[in-house]
Structure 1
Amino acid sequence: MAAVASAEAPEVRQECGCKGIRTCLICERPRHGDPIWQLAPKKTHRFLYCLDTGWAVGAEDSDFEGWAFPFPGVTLIEDFVTPEEEAEMVCLMDQDPWKLSQSGRRKQDYGPKVNFRKQKLRMAGFQGLPSFSQELVRRMGLYPELEDFQPVEQCNLDYSPTRGSAIDPHLDDSWLWGERLVSLNLLSPTVMSMGREASGSLLLSPAPPASPEASMDSMLGPSRSVLCHEVEVAVPVPRRSLLVLTGAARHQWTHAIHRRHIKARRVCATFRELSAEFCPGGKQQDLGHELLRVALSFQGRPVL
């Protein structure tokens, strides 16, 4: 019988894990004035990712309503797990300790300890991915986009509106982590907000209907442009769905979860694979082989 996940896991303590300019509702309460994160410049133009066409479409009632541009590298697999599997997984996660993290998040790490700046890692304490992830990894391999996906790291993140949880725009490391970033979204829907700080402009075309043929035809029509750094693309992520980022969506567009998009408790399990440097033929292939051997034993507990 599947265990039932609680609406909100019990808090161990009230202190937060924020450092530097990052804040959450817990550390903002004693302060006066706007928190620093609210003062950062916001994107001017909103676009919405369309799963049917793979294009980012201008938001309704905006200057670019009806205009769009191709947004490759996003794959969304809905209903990847059942409600019963979701409840059991979260219940199992809550049996292990959650560590305080930045911006009102809590986390559980299953992977090596990494210093990305110095490009060094330690395997101390890493015993593998958790046992309940073995079926998830097997199921991922049934999809063409993930048939050879071998995760070497899993990070569980716990978001709560009562803590004002969020995650800043960022690009994941590409020294250790490989091409695909895979995230399983549990307990509530959210929005992945993607931005690009590159100079230059994006070329827009009339938004295509939901068919590949129409998408190609629309590229031949009239066009407009918008500055890259003024654009934010909202990618809706349903509950129990699997989100895969590759290519430009992985390496050129930052991804973030804004506080306003956390309406209820959300748990996300993100899986990462090895980069080419740690795969067969790479200069650290032996270390990569050992990392995979440990990871795929599925005997892990969170690394403290």
Structure 2
Amino acid sequence: MGLPRFSCPKGGDAESSPHLYVANCGPAVGLSYDKIVSVFGTYGEVEGVYPADESGTRVIVSYRDKSSSQAAMKALNGHPCSGLGGRFLHIQYSVQSLGKVNDTAPLPVWTSAADLDIPGLYLMHDFVTAEEEQELLAAVDDRLWKHLAKRRVQHYGYEFRYDIRNVNTNHYLGELPSFMLPILERIRTCQTLDHVADISLDQLTVNEYPPGVGLSPHIDTHSAFKGLIFSLSLAGPCIMEFRKYTTGVWQEKPTSSYDMETQISEKNLNFIRKAIYLPPRSMLLLSGEARYAWHHYIPHHKVDRVNDNLIRRSSRRVSFTLRKVRGGPCHCEFPQYCDSQR
């Protein structure tokens, strides 16, 4: 293992700092990073939320100043948090380590989806040409970007609401832009994807990621979108990690199993972790189990380790994510990961 970005002093006897180590909190217990930010953000400006380890049940909440972390500590430590499903949070002050931020445990990074052995995951290299890539980038750069905390986005068809992780189906933004028509047609006629020929995609989110900015672990809300999610990577590469948690998912209320869930060693967790390299101009498809049961995550790195190679991320990476809005409850075969069935 490489050095962690943050550490918790032994015995918990740490002086106050802007960083909080929060246990019983994270994607493995059904709490998205966006939700954690919204709750802790009521006490001050949150600069970031990071995984404290690989368990998915502990996070680091990093504030801009100590007064904010002190207020959050006083209000939330050892108390049920209504904004996080009534969970009891166990909080300590944390300190930033001197080691490299991007050191991680060795993890094989595959270049083919077949090697990951995740049902429903597909990766098509060179889905667009270099010329088409530049045309698509120019098209979105001519349009208005919406600024989030660390990246820029555009929405078409329907706006994705990050505060509720869903879409407002009553607010239709119009048809997808004309510059996407060749891509939509290529999806429909791609022989590799013959089972999606009749799918009418109606929602597009364009994300621009600067160097070092990634994506928090999450599963796209089941009730928001149907079973196929396409993501086209342009301008730069990245690693996408997939995590499958088989215990503690969507557990909204505190239970007597808390100590077992948060203190069990990482190697004994029923937890699967795999990674794939997404080169520019590649198209990723999440369907079936890959879409409904696996968290996907882009590490917040400026340099990715792809097995024996170090690959520096470019000045920007732009993803085009295409989906079909559901407009009703989900009845998938993965109820433990499903917001409609939990």
The normalised TM-score by structure 1 is: 0.60
Aligned counterpart for 2:322 among listed residues 271, 293, 300: 271
SS in 1 for 2:107: strand
- Report the CA distance shift for 1:95/1:118 in structure 2 as closer, same or farther (over 3 A): closer
Aligned counterpart for 2:122 among listed residues 64, 67, 75: 75
Distance 1:168 1:39 in 2: 9
Distance 2:166 2:37 in 1: 24
SS in 2 for 1:132: helix
SS in 1 for 2:178: coil
Is 1:196–1:228's contact at 8 Å kept on the other side of the alignment? no
- Report the CA distance shift for 1:38/1:277 in structure 2 as closer, same or farther (over 3 A): closer
Q: How does 1:166-181 map to 2 (within 5 A)?
A: 166-181=214-229
SS in 1 for 2:128: coil
Is 1:45–1:231's contact at 8 Å kept on the other side of the alignment? no
- Report the CA distance shift for 1:197/1:92 in structure 2 as closer, same or farther (over 3 A): same
Partner of 1:151: 201
SS in 1 for 2:205: strand
Distance 1:266 1:118 in 2: 22
Q: Structure 1 residue 190: deviation in Å? A: 1.3
Distance 1:241 1:128 in 2: 24
RMSD of Structure 2 on Structure 1 (CA):
3.4
Distance 2:166 2:132 in 1: 36
Give deviations 1:32-91, integer Å, cap 9, x for gaps.
Answer: xx9653452236673444627x243xxxxxxxxxxxxx3211111111111011001101
* Uncovered stretches (5+) of structure 1, i.e. residues with no partner: 1-17, 24-30, 57-69, 201-225, 280-304
* Uncovered stretches (5+) of structure 2, i.e. residues with no partner: 1-32, 39-44, 56-104, 249-266, 305-311, 331-342
Distance 2:318 2:154 in 1: 11
Residue-pair matches, total: 211
Q: Structure 1 residue 98: deviation in Å? A: 1.1
Q: How does 1:285-304 map to 2 (within 5 A)?
A: none
Distance 2:240 2:165 in 1: 29
Distance 1:276 1:124 in 2: 12
Partner of 1:90: 137
Q: Structure 1 residue 197: deviation in Å? A: 2.0
Is 1:49–1:71's contact at 8 Å kept on the other side of the alignment? no
1:106 aligns with 2:152: yes
Distance 1:76 1:242 in 2: 6
Give deviations 1:153-212, integer Å, cap 9, x for gaps.
Answer: 000000011xx3211000101113101110010011211111122139xxxxxxxxxxxx
Which amino acid letter does the alignment assign opposite residue 255 of structure 1? Answer: H
Which amino acid letter does the alignment assign opposite residue 147 of structure 1? Answer: A
- Report the CA distance shift for 1:148/1:228 in structure 2 as closer, same or farther (over 3 A): farther
SS in 2 for 1:137: helix
The normalised TM-score by structure 2 is: 0.54
- Report the CA distance shift for 1:106/1:267 in structure 2 as closer, same or farther (over 3 A): same
SS in 2 for 1:46: coil
Which amino acid letter does the alignment assign opposite residue 184 of structure 2? Answer: V
Structure with the bigger RCO (C-alpha within 8 Å, sep 6+) is 1
1:46 aligns with 2:121: no
Which amino acid letter does the alignment assign opposite residue 51 of structure 1? Answer: S
Distance 2:130 2:167 in 1: 39
Q: Structure 1 residue 230: deviation in Å? A: 4.1
Q: How does 1:1-304 map to 2 (within 5 A)?
A: 37-38=49-50, 40-42=52-54, 46-49=107-110, 51=112, 54-56=114-116, 70-102=117-149, 104-113=150-159, 121-124=168-171, 126-143=173-190, 144-161=194-211, 164-199=212-247, 229-260=270-301, 261=304, 263-264=313-314, 265-275=316-326, 277=328
Is 2:176–2:204's contact at 8 Å kept on the other side of the alignment? yes
Distance 2:288 2:269 in 1: 17
Distance 2:295 2:215 in 1: 11
